[in-house]
Amino acid sequence: MRLAKVAVPVPLGQAFTYAVPAELSHEVQPGARVLVEFGRRRVLAVVLQAYDGEPDFDPKKLKPLAAVVDAEPVFPLELLEFLVELARYYLAPLGEVMRLALPAVERSVKARLSSDGVQGAAEIATVGRMVRWAAAVDPEPAGPIPRGQGREILAYLRASGPQAVAELAQRWSNARPALKRLEASGQVTFEERPGDTDPFFSEPLPSDVAPELTPAQRLALDRVQHALATGGAKSFLLQGVTGSGKTEVYLRTVGQVAQAGGGCIVLVPEIALTPQLVSRFRARLGDDIAVLHSGLTESERHQMWRSLRSGKVRIAIGARSALFAPVQNLALICVDEEHDGSFKQEEGVRYNARDMALLRAHRAGALCLLGSATPSVASEALVRKQKLERLVLPDRAHHAARLPKVEIVDLRRVGAGPSGHRLLSLTLHRALERTLEAKEQAILFLNRRGFAITLLCSSCGKLSECPNCAVSLTLHRRGGEALRCHYCDYAIPVPTQCPSCHSDRLSEEGAGTERIESALSEAFPNARIGRLDRDVAAGAKSERILNQMRAKELDVLVGTQMVTKGHDLPEVTLVGVLNADSALSLPDFRAAERTFQLLVQVAGRAGRGDRPGTVLIQTYQPEHPAVVLAARHDVTAFLDREIEARRELRYPPFSRLALVRVDAVDEREAERAAAFLADIAARACKHEADILGPAPAPLIRLRNRFRYRFMVRSASRAPLRAALLAVARAPDNRRVRVAIDVDPMSML
């Protein structure tokens, strides 16, 4: 009998077998969506394999497929096999992994299934605005000759082909009744088509002229083009200082691949970078580009997906989810800012898009190009193992641009400036005065949003804490004063008394970007101050503020990590890092690496134009290697030092690592479950892997659930996988949630 193994969108790590009815046998192919009965409901599933054979269970329990949803498979075979391997590597449920890449169901598909009488079709959620189109019947039927606007419309349809009814109604005031008469006489037919939306293509862009390449860019491009010409999977690390023209190398490589008929995926770490990159690609390569990121509506995302799957568009650009774009004939994947932690998905399927880009390119026989000014330790290790080939851009591409001069400001010795705020030191204040006097721009970076870190009772020492999470509440002033939790969104009005001792001696502790913005506005009343953080510019809205900087409508921009990304702002000549120590204190073996990358990246925003740039790094630890080496722009020395430290401590890339996180409403329940699973993991790997813990998580309570975790560390993958599989197959406890994070990026 004909059978099909399918992935069902449920949190179970297995495929399910169904019988294929004879009338559907020619339509059931790997990558196709099917409607299946699962339990007491009907759900959409993806076919993994169709074959002839017998089930390995009682044939009486075998259920038939209800219907095939799509006329052709939604997944190319290359993408389907990649998704299966991703699920296996991260021990993620197959159906949940498929959901990452599945398009929404079109209304027309649901209508077809319903008209065929398929039971359960009415329950399918659909997407897409349907637009009514009119088409002239061919050959022309015998019948009365229409008069007036009906005759004009019919002639237009015969000359121009099918047209949207809404567009015809704009040309002819009586178009809709005239079309109804033409339909009644058999001369016109109607059909429903999905409406297209183009959120990134609303305004035309003039074509740009490709700049002359620097010698280093030419060498890098020649090496990449040679690899493309010889064929086969090949991976590169494009290491270039900030402003060295890495994007130009991407542009020329993508253009060459697309012209030869190959498919391309370009990944950026943040939505904030997407509009900027899309504009450059449109100006160079035209509008045949699909943009994919989490800021799109379902309808917009589906329109982009459809254009890629059909082969109409060959280039996909977006954040990490663009890795699953169904591009035809995949030949190139570019990962910009490959070091960025945003490529790691921290919820659901915990994949790393940077690592999986290398895997997908390898499986597809494509070229993978990773780019960064501050390569990750993981990528540097791959270079040293000769699994990546390094390409170097040592100088800035702009002929007058030079790397900025960096000065370390010791906050232990330098006091506050005229504003009186400790983080606006006298040195920084004077530098801002000079920058504003010269009509230049500045960026100030502080990795904490809000007005104050929290409220402190001066009488009893009590901090304002979130009742749901083991963190303090942050004071916000804009949009109404409130204390907010940045983890669970709990918020309360600012109290006038301490809830513990009822004292009114409440003081604001610490500072966030909102407070710095306020202090700057008071210190420099004539300056135009802007702020860029998730409170004022979440997601794609950040482009509005960045455009204000580009148009010189702002003089100073204060922001969180959002200002450190690869923005090209040539008028910025001063960058101030207000507190370089905030990331160094985190309980994470990558703390120094992240701090170094942040400092170098934010420093790279200065001096990208004709005028020299200056960077001030304020710190209480001026002797810390991450700070000292960032001030020197010495990437090589930092990587050497960090790799040696990781080797001594047996941390990645010198070991395989996974975190098992356990949380429950009851703390004792979470602690017992973590201990039970850790014991299972140790026995399953026969003690060939280190089981570190269990222990409370650094943030022990989050969203009213207590969190415990343990780490599994192994020199090779096999013992690690054995331990994790045992955890995944352990008896289920409905009162406890368990999450397995392979190659974790966050240790909190």
pLDDT tens figures, 416-439 = 889 888 889 999 999 999 999 999
Considering 399-403, 454-458, 481-485, the range whose residues carry the highest mean pLDDT is 481-485
Q: Are 352 and 249 in contact (CB under 8 A)?
A: no
Burial class, 688, CB count within 10 angstroms (exposed 0-12 / middle 13-18 / buried 19+): middle
Lateral strand order in the sheet of 389-393? 290-292, 315-318, 263-267, 330-336, 367-372, 234-240, 389-393
Position 452 scores a pLDDT of 66
Nearest to 575 by CA among 399, 377, 428, 369: 428
| Angle of the 635-649 helix axis to the 377-384 helix axis, nearest 10 | 90
Average pLDDT for the chain: 87
Q: Are 126 and 107 in contact (CB under 8 A)?
A: yes
Query: Is pLDDT at 544 greater than 60 in this prediction?
Result: yes
* DSSP symbol at 371: E
Query: Is pLDDT at 233 greater than 70 in this prediction?
Result: yes
How many Cβ atoms are within 10 Å of 376's Cβ, its own excluded? Answer: 24
Task: Return the structure tokens found at 278.
Answer: 């899309």
pTM of the model: 0.84
Position 248 scores a pLDDT of 93
Of 290-294, 489-493, 723-727, the range with the lowest mean pLDDT is 290-294
Position 479 scores a pLDDT of 63
- Dihedral in degrees, nearest 10, Cα atoms 2, 7, 9, 12: 120
How many Cβ atoms are within 10 Å of 487's Cβ, its own excluded? Answer: 15
pLDDT mean over 532-549: 74
pLDDT band with cut points at 50, 70 and 90 for residue 595? very high
Residues contacting residue 125 through CB under 8 Å, at least 6 positions apart:
104, 105
Position 81 scores a pLDDT of 94
- The bridge status of strand 188-194 relative to strand 130-136 is antiparallel
Query: Is pLDDT at 204 greater than 70 in this prediction?
Result: no
Query: Is pLDDT at 600 greater than 70 in this prediction?
Result: yes
Task: Return the structure tokens found at 70.
Answer: 């799509």
pLDDT mean over 582-590: 84
- Dihedral in degrees, nearest 10, Cα atoms 710, 715, 721, 722: -90
β-strand partners of 36: 43
Each residue's pLDDT tens digit, 40-91: 888 889 999 999 988 888 888 899 998 888 878 889 999 999 999 999 999 9
How many Cβ atoms are within 10 Å of 601's Cβ, its own excluded? Answer: 23
